[in-house]
Structure 1
Amino acid sequence: MLSTNDPASALVGFGVGLSLIVAIGAQNAFVLRQGLTRSHVLPIVAVCALSDAILILAGISGIGTLLGHAPSLITFVRIAGAVFLLSYAIFAAKRALRPQTLAPDQHGNGSRLAAVTMALALTWLNPHVYLDTVVLMGSIANGRGEIGRWWFAAGAITASVVWFSALGYGARLLTPLFAKPNAWRILDALIAVMMAVLGISLLVEL
């Protein structure tokens, strides 16, 4: 039986981290879209991976326990996140309904600051990020011993870097599929529906 203090904890962390990060959501949809347009991919990937690293380390440091005793904070983040997601859903729906905005060469004109701000908002205004990354992963990691938890963190952070890099830079392999405006219309329509469902679900859970 492997000790919880050996490097095998890194593999556990990698698996757990990947299973939580890969689930399709607002953040992944945004990274995919940026990757397809090849717009500010590096800073977007860096922001998402660094944010995950901060949250994972916060959970392992015990902040997850404190967060569990602050329901009002979770409620605030939930409301803010719902408003943001619903607003983003409206903008995505407008893009899907206006064919002239769907040409691939028009998708990469946004500023780097706007793209980074969007990535930060999609990460930090999502209450599920705190529950999954800080509370859940923190509790799993802290159950693997003093040394094992840091190996677990290293594995989980590595999973985040690998996933967002693959999503952001691998999206260009789908470029031929999105050579037609209708493909962008479908993508933006799906993003709009996803953001709306996520936003509504946050309000329902209040």
Structure 2
Amino acid sequence: MTHGITTAALAGFGTGLSLIVAIGAQNAFVLRQGARRHAVLPVVAICAVSDLVLIVLGVAGVGAFVNAWPAALTVVGFAGGAFLICYGVLAARRVLRPVPGAALSTEGAAAGSARRAVLTCLAMTWLNPHVYLDTVLLLGSLAADRGDLRWAFGIGAALASLTWFTTLGYGARLLSGFLARPAAWRALDGLVAATMVTMGGMLLARA
């Protein structure tokens, strides 16, 4: 039983990490705050706690819903797979057609007050429809597939979020020079594209 819990938690950690590392507005904001060493703790805390709340809702709600309607896994699998592939295609497009000024700026004025940083982070987290698909629907459905071990899967995913945002926020200062280069963002987007398309294809194949 212990081995099964550990396996489910590690699966949740790996799945959660593969979804969270996709470079988007939220991650870019955490990178900027980390590189500028401004309001890093509250920003990291907001991201990690928000993911925890959404993952809990996903594991609890989707699990009960799937028990009542097993076909929901197929529906979510198709929707999630299509979304991930589209996300990967957009990332690949950014690699081929980089956006001017996409490099991380770490010079100049500070990122503003801590209050502004907190409000911005909250908006990027809770007003982003993708976060609900990733945590509540996608992770929730994958957790439900684990049956009685779904909470171990959810805990693993939550730990992945905490690990990622802590590393991103406090490690960004070490990468400030690297992240100032447009080529760095193209490399990151290339990795995101490959990961998202692969995961999307796997979800569609299992649906």
* Residue 122, structure 1, aligned to residue 114, structure 2: no
Shift of 1:93: 2.3
Shift of 1:77: 0.9
1:169 aligned to which of 141, 161, 166: 166
Q: 1:164 and 1:124 mapped to 2: Cα distance?
A: 14
Equivalent position SS for 1:102:
coil
Equivalent position SS for 2:71:
helix
* Residue 52, structure 1, aligned to residue 64, structure 2: no
* Residue 29, structure 1, aligned to residue 22, structure 2: yes
Q: Determine the structure 2 residue equivalent to 1:139.
A: 148
Shift of 1:67: 2.3
Report if aligned partners of 2:55, 2:136 keep a CA contact under 8 Å in 1. Answer: no
Report 1:127-206 matches (<5 A): 129-136=139-146, 138-140=147-149, 159-172=156-169, 173-174=171-172, 175-176=175-176, 177-206=178-207
Report 1:90-105 matches (<5 A): 90-96=89-95, 97-105=97-105
Q: 2:195 and 2:154 mapped to 1: Cα distance?
A: 26
Q: CA-to-partner distance for each residue in 1:111-165, whole Å, 9 max, x for gaps?
A: 8545432222222342xx24542341x4247xxxxxxxxxxx5x77665544322
Cα distance, 1:78–1:156 mapped onto 2, change above 3 Å: closer
Equivalent position SS for 1:100:
coil
Q: 1:36 and 1:92 mapped to 2: Cα distance?
A: 18
Report if aligned partners of 1:102, 1:184 keep a CA contact under 8 Å in 2. Answer: yes
Report if aligned partners of 1:85, 1:195 keep a CA contact under 8 Å in 2. Answer: yes
Shift of 1:187: 0.3
Shift of 1:199: 1.9
Percent identity over paired residues: 19
Report if aligned partners of 1:79, 1:202 keep a CA contact under 8 Å in 2. Answer: yes
Equivalent position SS for 1:29:
coil
* Residue 82, structure 1, aligned to residue 81, structure 2: yes
Q: CA-to-partner distance for each residue in 1:143-200, whole Å, 9 max, x for gaps?
A: xxxxxxxxxx5x7766554432221121141433423221111001111221122223
Q: 2:6 and 2:44 mapped to 1: Cα distance?
A: 23
Report if aligned partners of 2:76, 2:141 keep a CA contact under 8 Å in 1. Answer: no
Q: 2:154 and 2:134 mapped to 1: Cα distance?
A: 18
- Counterpart of 2:98 in structure 1: which amino acid? R
Residue segments in structure 2 that go unaligned for 5+ positions in a row: 35-42, 112-119
Q: Determine the structure 1 residue equivalent to 2:117.
A: none
Cα distance, 1:104–1:179 mapped onto 2, change above 3 Å: same
Residue segments in structure 1 that go unaligned for 5+ positions in a row: 142-152
Q: Determine the structure 1 residue equivalent to 2:69.
A: 70
Q: 1:92 and 1:101 mapped to 2: Cα distance?
A: 16
Shift of 1:14: 7.1
Q: 2:181 and 2:153 mapped to 1: Cα distance?
A: 37
Aligned residue pair count: 178
